[in-house]
Structure 1
Amino acid sequence: MARKHELFMNKKPSTIIELLDQIEKAAKNDKEQVSLNEILDTVGHRSFGPLLLLAGLVTLAPIIGDIPGVPAIMGVFVLLAAGQLLLREQHIWLPRWLLEQSIHKDKIFRGIQWMRKPARFLDRWLRTRLTLFIQGTAVYIIAVVCICIAAVMPAMEVIPFSANVAGAALTAFGLSLITKDGLMALIAFIFSAGTFGLALYHFI
């Protein structure tokens, strides 16, 4: 049986550091593997921004994102979340097989440690500005772009560094929605163009 998660009720976490702390909390258990469902239960899985940020950070971190299969799994995750946002669903549906996907906790801890320094810098730099690019119709444009990124992520398993660029785009989109920073959304569109450029260069 699949599960449904509320999509728009909770705006936390509000920073990258908060999200990293929550992922780390989910990994602090007695099991060697940490599932996506356990992470979502800790993060909150209730708004589009944090979900994008989670998918982006998982894909961006070299220690985690370079694990075979992770970019494809995160692609499906983003595809479902963004697609249901476009359909104006109030809950996000995730299949059980996706929720049960897991990563060894040591890789999660190492990935979080790698991310903390750039996370602190970004958290200080982000602020509310250029909100035209993260409100109303702009949110649905972001969702469409994220769907396009998600669609090519499985192919990025064989393109060096492309998954990390896709992760940077998703991370930037997630941050822009969480902090209402339109400038970060514009940066995310640039990373998105880089993602598609790498894919086209490799396959055409």
Structure 2
Amino acid sequence: MTQPALDDERRLVTAEVGGVGATLDELERVAAEGDAVTLRTIVEAFDARSYGPFLLVPALLEMSPIGGVPGLPTLIASIVVLFAAQILLGRETMWLPGIVGRRSVASAKFLAAVRWLRPGARFMDRWFRGRLTPLTRGPFLKDAAVACILLCLTVPPLELVPFASTAPMAAIAAFGLAILVRDGALMVLAYALTALAFGVGFRLWTA
């Protein structure tokens, strides 16, 4: 096994996050530490763990009420591109530029979004885990990162249509969840959602 493959395997095996519910628990813990939550504190909370939260968390937040803020979907897509590019390069820890890492949201608003996501988290934790695990690592992990970058490129124009950016973000969330819980069947579903997202975008801009 090559060194990059070993690095990917170590990322997936060590310090397992535990699922979407546990991920939201960690986000609530971060939010409880102050009046505002910065992007840097979120990154630090999940660093040296699975790559999954770095795709899943931004996508879920975009799909929550927070995502209704004008311009925020494009900002979140930019952050996902940055994370996905680092996954593609096999970085051990995620990096954010200082100006991006300092961006923040009020803890109360952040907690409300996290709690809004709880019912969906319970569903995902119940149904998605540990199938076809080889599809969640190695070259498949890199392919997922490329797919997420392409999906993010569709977000800025889709933001002009209310809630249209939810389609690519749902696919990105599926990739993140698949990596987090090592579910290759969900990885396949994420590619299906990717095709659907591109289809939705094409339909909206050619209608």
Length-normalised TM-score, structure 1: 0.86
1:64 aligned residue:
66
C-alpha displacement of 1:196 = 1.5
Choose which of 10, 16, 19 in structure 2 pairs with 1:15. Answer: 19
1:26 aligned residue:
30
Aligned residues: 196
C-alpha displacement of 1:201 = 2.1
Structure 1 outlier segments of 4+, above 6 Å = none
1:85 aligned residue:
87
Per-residue CA deviations over 1:81-132 (Å, capped at 9, x if unaligned) read 1112222333333111111112222221221121111211210112211224
Worse-matched range after superposition: 74-83 or 102-111: 102-111
Length-normalised TM-score, structure 2: 0.85
2:172 aligned residue:
170
CA distance in 2, matches of 1:114, 1:196: 27
1:3 aligned residue:
none
C-alpha displacement of 1:46 = 4.2
Worse-matched range after superposition: 161-170 or 113-122: 161-170
Aligned sequence identity (%): 32
1:119 aligned residue:
121
CA distance in 1, matches of 2:156, 2:114: 23
CA distance in 1, matches of 2:72, 2:15: 25
2:52 aligned residue:
49
* Structural RMSD (CA): 2.1
C-alpha displacement of 1:64 = 1.2
Q: Secondary structure at the match of 1:110?
A: helix
- Is the aligned partner of 1:202 residue 2:193? no
Per-residue CA deviations over 1:152-204 (Å, capped at 9, x if unaligned) read 22223212222222222121111111111111112211222222222222334
